[in-house]
Amino acid sequence: MASTMKFMLFSVLSLISFQAVVSIAPLQFQHPLDPLTKEEITLVQTIVLKKYPTSKNRLAFHYIGLDDPDKAAVLKWESLKPTLMTIPRKSFTIAIINSQSHEILIDLKARRMLSDNVYTGHGFPTLSVEEQTAAIELPLKYGPFIESVKKRGLNLSEVVCSTFSMGWFGETKAARTVRVDSFMKESSPNIWVRPITGIIIVVDLELMKIVEYHDRGVEPVPTAENTEYRAAFLKPPFGPKQKSLATHQPQGPGFQISGHSVSWANWKFHIGFDVRAGAIISLASIYDLEKHKSRRVLYKGYISELFVPYQDPTDDFYFKTFFDAGEFGFGLSTVSLVPNRDCPSNAHFIDTYIHTGDGSPSLLKNAVCVFEKYGDIMWRHTETGIPNETFVEARTEVNLIVRTVVTVGNYDNIIDWEFKASGSIKPAIALSGILEIKGADIKHKNEIKEDQHGILVSANSIAVYHDHFYIYYLDLDIDGVENSFEKTTLKTVRVTDGSSKRKSYWTTESEFAKTESDAKIIIGATPSELAIVNPNKHTAVGNDVGYRLIPALPAHPLLTEDDYPQIRGAFTNYNVWVTPYNRTEKWAGGLFVDHSHGDDTLAVWTKKNRDIVNKDIVMWHVVGIHHVPCQEDFPMMPLLSTGFELRPTNFFERNPVLKTLSPKDVAWPGCHK
């Protein structure tokens, strides 16, 4: 029995390889949605510096990215041979020049600046790594801070600092400032669980100096005991022993990568990358075996914003209402993936380039990984209803994963896009990393005398309540660009005429959302099905082809709508929004998010209440987690996961994987049936 089970296990695992030997076709052309290359970033830097030489100007680059090409042109380009049509490559750049935010558009082929506009509204661009690095060095040379450290009996050489965006709380005008908090690294690398509480430091990034300082009093610094997490420094006893896992893919991986374009099973799509959005999935289409053609599903998808408001109104925490994509950059915060840890041994890795504060290109190795995942059930049935005959029919599922990891300060966001041969796309998020801790003179729950705004997870360590709200931009083009948003409500019907022995049943009522207001959905308010459909394309039996949104357990904001963080994060007021496609409406929290006033958000755009019937439309989906910490999250969090599914609904005539056969079993040395 044991040997049989062992063989069955290896028959699945053996379809994976030790080394990712991926078939990579030669790249003969540049895809119009490819991220900027090293040479293109350098060109942007050169053109901007030519107009604004640093000998005469204070200049820093805060965003260099691909300016979205015209969608109609991209779709036409894709339908033709690339050699027959070229699309202009442009870069959109945000630079702070002499304390003013410039929006600069550059034609990369013509090698010239097309426009240069000074932004005069509220908010500032994404923070640069370099200015944050400079800001955290200031307290260590600042007299009052040095005295505060001495007063606490701490060693200044063991103190490290970190920057935090400050949000907006009704100020008419704001300087470009950050808060700087301090932590102890003595005896543990786990600085985030060892905060030095009670010290308030504000740094003006333009002046690069401390402009506000308060020491509200001494609180104990949480101990370093049991906070180590590095394997090399952990001491026995260890947890359950994990058996070694060998993988082998004798026929090689099932996907091909050409540049940033991926072909796998019945799917084709493009992987882009942006310093603000991180990974971007574009031009996803699936081959229909019965119609003998590829059919468009998703034009573009990415995480537009991540809103993380902490729920502590005290001076130490009230400002911690972060917008991780807009303030810190999901792409700038993407980390290099670790082979065999972040991604399995059959993964293929993709490098990309981001930019530094001076506009130079910087190589980010292993930014994205692509791999096949085996072992789940695709579909099955055991037939016992036929007299004198029992049989089992089952299929093994193989899925394709596109993965990145975004680390913003203490939290790690594992971001997956999972493609299924059945036609589903499953975006998923898993959180790990370290809780946000505040120090308190409390060692047991019984000592708590007032609201601590969190959970006591260790002595002197309060893990603060908070939320994670991810909003996805999903430009679904179901079999074409003219789509509609269909709401199907499930309703209870009472039987009152005596026509049945039943007293009730449920049925459905469907309608198209006519305007943006009609499409604002709070999931869970009423039982419903939500889908993007193409009312111009029908199945053989007459159903509109479409894709259904299958959400995770919904989370709704609990802040009042007039609270300043919620005004900025008003895109979380609904779980689903639908807007007409607009090339400039990309960022749910606005283009300039740091210190923003919430006047350029998805919630503001939709007040136009535009028509969305049979139009090129975009669905925005908020995926949220209310995080009430627990001791198991300390000192390092196991994965906390959520996600959703985009599932074909009357898109195919029947089960599209009915004739998809399971991978063949491969005998493994030393195993026997």
Please state the φ and ψ torsions of residue 499, each to the nearest 5 degrees: -75, -10
Pairing mode, if any, of strands 528-538 and 544-550? antiparallel
Q: How many other β-carbons are positioned within 10 Å of the β-carbon of residue 567?
A: 19
Q: What is the DSSP letter of 483?
A: B
Identify the bridge partners of residue 515 per DSSP, sorted by sequence position: 611
* Catalytic residue list contains 358: no
CA of residue 293 relative to chain centroid, distance? 31
Residues counted in the chain: 673
Q: Is 213 exposed, middle or buried (0-12, 13-18, 19+ CB in 10 A)?
A: middle
Catalytic site residue from 310, 353, 411, 547: 411
411 is catalytic: yes
In this structure, are residues 647 and 657 in contact, taking their beta carbons and an 8 Å threshold? no
- 555-561 LR contacts (CB < 8 Å, sep 24+): 555/467, 555/469, 555/623, 555/624, 555/625, 555/626, 556/522, 556/524, 556/624, 557/467, 557/469, 557/624, 558/467, 558/626, 559/309
Q: How far apart are CA 651 and CA 642, in angstroms?
A: 25
The single residue of 316, 324, 477, 616 carrying the catalytic annotation is: 324
Around Cβ 218, how many Cβ atoms within 10 Å?
A: 16
Backbone angles phi, psi at 570, to 5 degrees: -65, -15
Cβ neighbors of 35 (< 8 A, separation 6 or more) are 65, 66, 260, 272, 273, 274, 352, 353
Strands annotated E in 120-216: 159-165, 177-184, 199-204, 209-215
Can you tell me the distance from the alpha carbon of 554 to that of 261, in angstroms, rounded to the nearest whole number? 33
Per the CB < 8 A criterion, the answer to whether 642 and 623 are in contact is yes
Residues serving a catalytic function are 324, 411
